[in-house]
């Protein structure tokens, strides 16, 4: 059976993934806006120094909870972005993972940044990319 590759399906999988987080994380996770787009914006790529749009499957935009202060005045909600085309390219090139599992993995990775985890912190416990 061919997996659903629509933007709506990506959003459904991501929201289901967030809803399955342990209850201690749910209130903070539900305050984060979740967005699914086909590609990262050129400005985002430029700001991050990412040369090719296929290299960015997801992004957390915001101030991690471990760095927030009552003095901070947010300009908007913290946001987790999932980029469909880069995720699909990763899924095709790997060939060893279900698409929904990859979507969930990228979602969890980006929400981990919201909770204050760095890429190095995540890599220590998540051997997904090995």
Q: Which domains does the chain have, with CATH numbers?
A: 7-64+77-125 (3.30.2010.20)
Q: For residue 17, what are the CA distances in angstroms to 1, 110, 121, 125?
A: 22, 12, 20, 18
What per-residue confidence (pLDDT) applies to 120?
A: 74
Q: State the Cα–Cα distance between residues 10 and 118, nearest whole angstrom.
A: 24
Cα distance between residue 32 and residue 45, in whole Å: 21
Quick one: average pLDDT of 38-50? 95
Q: Write out pLDDT tens, residues 64-116.
A: 777 776 676 667 789 999 999 999 999 999 988 999 999 999 999 898 888 77
**Distance separating alpha carbons of residues 106 and 90, to the nearest angstrom:** 11
pLDDT over threshold 80, residue 15: yes
């Amino acid at each position: 059976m061919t997996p659903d590759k629509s933007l709506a399906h990506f959003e459904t999988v991501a929201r289901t993934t967030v809803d399955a987080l342990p209850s201690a994380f749910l209130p903070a996770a539900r305050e984060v806006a979740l967005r699914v787009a086909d590609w990262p914006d050129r400005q985002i790529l430029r700001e991050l120094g990412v040369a090719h749009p296929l290299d960015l499957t997801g992004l957390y935009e915001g101030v991690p909870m471990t760095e927030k202060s009552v003095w901070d005045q947010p300009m908007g909600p913290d946001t987790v972005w999932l980029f469909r085309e880069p995720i699909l390219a990763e899924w095709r090139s790997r060939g060893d993972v279900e698409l929904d599992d990859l979507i969930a993995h990228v979602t969890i990775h980006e929400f981990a940044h919201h909770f204050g985890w760095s890429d190095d912190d995540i890599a220590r416990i998540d051997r997904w990319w090995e």
